[in-house]
Amino acid sequence: MSALLPVEQRIHQLRTAVTAYADQYHTHDAPQITDGAYDLLFRELQDLEAQHPGLVTLDSPTQRVGGAILEGFEPAPHDRPMLSLKDAMDNTDAMAFVTGAAAGLGVDTEALELTGELKYDGLALAASYVGGVLVRAATRGDGITGENVTSQARTIRNLPLRLPMPIDLEVRGEVVMRKNDFELVNKQLLSRGEKPLANTRNGAAGSMRQLDPKITASRRLSFYAYGASELNGETPFNATTQWDLIQALLNLGFSIAPETAVVRGWDGVQSFFERVGEGRAALPYDIDGVVFKVNTLQGQQDLGWTNRTPRFAIAYKYPAEEAISTVRDIVVQIGRTGAATPVAKIDPVRVGGVMVSSASLHNADQVHAKGVKFGSTVIVRRAGDVVPEICGVVPSAADETLRCFVMPLHCPSCDSRLERQPGMVGSYCPGGLKCPAQKLAKLCHFASKLGMNIDGLGDKSITALIEAELISMPSDLFSLQAPDVASLPGFARVSAAKLTKSIAAAMRPELARFIYSLGIEGVGEATSKALAKQFGAWSRFRVATYDELIQTPDVGPDTTANIQRFFADECLGLEADSLAAITSPQDSLKTTGSNLSGKVFVLTGTFPTLSREQAKALVEDAGGKVSGSVSSKTSFVVAGDSAGSKLEAAQNLGIPVWNESMLLAALAS
């Protein structure tokens, strides 16, 4: 027994720590460590208990799910336990699940059919309907008994209060706060001098657990369903697969992520996981992984459950997007629109698979609201290619002794006095192109891949050209001479000739690219395409009135005002006109009346003559939309060679499948 003493001590330490962290996370919605750090502790405890089963106790956090019931809510017992999912932290874990499930069902691994569903970062909810009317909503709680949050759930915008059929049904899903709603709610909280929400997960969980439903209603929550059963325990809708259940829920009016798909075998699982990961940053909600479930409901029953997790499902998680670091300095950076952004210089830390040494603090109000100081221990977050940000501070007894950040009065680049207009949340530099930092940022944006796409013209090259006084404005690029460039540090005759050739190749840009390259505040890639389609030609866009601009899809009052302010600026307006005269942007095809207007396409595989980007551009120019995943909303799937799971999903759903020739024929008709 004495030999086990160190193990017993470690297990006791882990149970104490995991219980405390889980209580803060689940019960108080105030996480003290990152998900990745928590997972490491939890998995160590699981491993030790697996090695020493005699030390497992009923009160171990590995033996239960979720957190305690928050005082003030009525208990809501679950007819069926709301179990959590086992995590796969890497492809080894995920592959073991797939091969194990296939073996358990006696089928070949590559023949195993699974659904791929997004693992939302929110709060699990069970909504019960009697006669098609919502009568109860309950949180997961400890998995056996949750909290009755029916009044709060009724405020969720997309949760049906009445179904189109009088069915007795329990629907399970996730309450989430979409990214745009999170930003809007935080803006409202800051304007009232209140503490902002730490992240979307806390926003969803904390909002659902407000005793006052009016507060929940103000938080703009959404619900995404992923499962259902009749209240008597029977499978509804005569469904035989998880996919059948999802489609039935969709038909009842529940929101389902359009990325949901059916895949086969390990190759299908890994391909879907990577594809979702590539588009993760662009999703409207936060996710931390993909849930894969055996598709057949009979297969799910055959595999069954452990005491804590189902054997037929796995949560395949992405690398942690949050990490803990220490703030060493806070500097102010000036962007291309003049926005003055406090940026924390932190101890390098790996977040989302990359090393991060800087993180945005957005504005001075956010710095103070989050309590970030010089020397603070902070939680750093990064999603996809999005700039890392500090989303919270890990409390410490030393916080009171740390030095606070004070926003400077003058621009660190041009010394202009920083301004803050009424209604603005941040400061900005009014220096415009006279400000070196803004000049560099604007030139980099102009030459970027989504802009004029000038190969070889990065920030270092632009800095060298500016310092040599060869360029000051984007239009100066088109008068560069190769011999002048070749004499600069970092260049030679060949590289200079290559750069001037790339600049010459940028002539006659697509109208959408040209609009984007101007760097108008609030006009990103999607808005540039919408404006190009709306007006068709630069000459019409340039003189568009407020009423004409605001009629463009996805263009609101703020963006319209930004466009008009940009052209009214004497320097920026003249520069835009000069660039248009030099480069001659191509007219964009008008899409009114197109036979593809409003149709949703999914492109998969390799086409004989078109690249994927070319095919996408043709569809969008004709008024269609291109989606990255197959769903019931998909109109057509265009498949080339080596088409994979998207083609299979289309065939399963009965969606028409075209080849390249059929697409080109439709475009020509």
pLDDT tens-digit series, residues 509-528: 999 999 999 999 889 887 89
Stated as kind and residue range, the H or E segment containing 525 is helix 525-535
225 is in an annotated binding site: no
293 is in an annotated binding site: yes
List where CATH 3.30.470.30 sits in the chain: 86-317
> Which regions of 61-112 does DSSP assign to beta strands (E)?
75-77, 87-88
Assign 382 a pLDDT band (cuts: 50, 70, 90): confident
Distance, in Å, from the CA atom of 156 to the CA atom of 183, rounded to the nearest integer, reads 17
Nearest CA to 389 out of 340, 356, 412, 365 is that of: 356
Whether residue 123 contacts residue 158, with contact meaning beta carbons closer than 8 Å, is answered with no
Distance, in Å, from the CA atom of 382 to the CA atom of 572, rounded to the nearest integer, reads 33
Cβ neighbours of residue 556 closer than 8 Å, sequence gap 6 or more: 550
CATH number of 511-583: 1.10.150.20
36 is in an annotated binding site: yes
According to CATH, the topology of domain 600-668 is: Rossmann fold (3.40.50)
8 is in an annotated binding site: no
Order of strands across the sheet with 625-627? Answer: 625-627, 600-604, 636-639, 657-658
List where CATH 1.10.287.610 sits in the chain: 6-63
Distance, in Å, from the CA atom of 325 to the CA atom of 372, rounded to the nearest integer, reads 12
529 given a catalytic annotation: no
| Segments in 69-112 forming alpha helices (H) | 91-105
Assign 309 a pLDDT band (cuts: 50, 70, 90): confident
Whether residue 221 contacts residue 155, with contact meaning beta carbons closer than 8 Å, is answered with yes
Is the domain covering 6-63 a CATH 1.10.287.610 domain?
yes
Nearest CA to 97 out of 314, 386, 371, 264 is that of: 314
Nearest CA to 241 out of 292, 293, 297 is that of: 297
Marked catalytic residue, from 86, 119, 370, 449: 119
Cα distances from 365 to residues 196, 201, 425, 607, in angstroms, run: 10, 22, 7, 51
Phi then psi dihedrals of residue 169, to 5 deg:
-145, 140
Query: Letter for the amino acid at 107?
Result: V
pLDDT of residue 57: 76
List where CATH 1.10.150.20 sits in the chain: 432-506, 511-583
Assign 90 a pLDDT band (cuts: 50, 70, 90): confident
Cβ neighbours of residue 191 closer than 8 Å, sequence gap 6 or more: none
Cα distances from 666 to residues 146, 174, 597, 619, 640, in angstroms, run: 53, 40, 12, 10, 16
Cα distances from 180 to residues 65, 119, 214, 217, in angstroms, run: 30, 19, 20, 16
pLDDT of residue 640: 86
| Secondary structure (3-state) at 506 | coil
Nearest CA to 234 out of 301, 166, 321, 285 is that of: 301
> Which regions of 235-334 does DSSP assign to beta strands (E)?
261-264, 287-294, 313-317, 322-334
pLDDT of residue 504: 93
| For residue 68, pLDDT beyond 80 | no
311 is in an annotated binding site: no
pLDDT of residue 143: 82
According to CATH, the topology of domain 432-506 is: DNA polymerase; domain 1 (1.10.150)
List where CATH 2.40.50.140 sits in the chain: 322-401
Q: In this structure, are strands 87-88 and 261-264 parallel, antiparallel, or unpaired?
A: unpaired
Distance, in Å, from the CA atom of 621 to the CA atom of 240, rounded to the nearest integer, reads 41
Distance, in Å, from the CA atom of 297 to the CA atom of 46, rounded to the nearest integer, reads 28
Nearest CA to 91 out of 264, 274, 327 is that of: 274
The tokens of 206 are what?
A: 């904390």
Query: Letter for the amino acid at 557?
Result: P
pLDDT tens for 387-420 read 788 888 887 778 889 999 999 999 999 999 999 8
37 is in an annotated binding site: yes
CATH number of 86-317: 3.30.470.30
517 is in an annotated binding site: no
Assign 116 a pLDDT band (cuts: 50, 70, 90): very high
Query: Letter for the amino acid at 162?
Result: R
444 is in an annotated binding site: no
CATH number of 322-401: 2.40.50.140
Query: Per DSSP, what are the bridge partners of residue 344?
Result: 330, 359
Phi then psi dihedrals of residue 329, to 5 deg:
-160, 160
Assign 36 a pLDDT band (cuts: 50, 70, 90): low
Burial category of 408 from C-beta neighbours within 10 Å (exposed 0-12, middle 13-18, buried 19 and up): middle
411 is in an annotated binding site: yes
| For residue 485, pLDDT beyond 80 | yes
Distance, in Å, from the CA atom of 280 to the CA atom of 278, rounded to the nearest integer, reads 6
Check the CA dihedral 234-632-200-46 and report its sign.
positive
Task: Render the burial of 60-92: b for 16+ CB within 10 Å, e for the rest.
Answer: bbbebbbbebbeebeebebeeebbbbbbbbeee
pLDDT of residue 591: 46
Nearest CA to 158 out of 226, 258, 227, 254 is that of: 254
List where CATH 3.40.50.10190 sits in the chain: 600-668
Polymer length of the chain: 669
404 is in an annotated binding site: no
pLDDT of residue 31: 65
Number of H helices, E strands in the chain: 24, 23
| For residue 650, pLDDT beyond 70 | yes
Q: Could you tell me the pTM of the whole model? A: 0.51
429 is in an annotated binding site: yes
Mean predicted confidence (pLDDT) in 308-326? 86
Cβ neighbours of residue 468 closer than 8 Å, sequence gap 6 or more: 484, 488
391 is in an annotated binding site: no
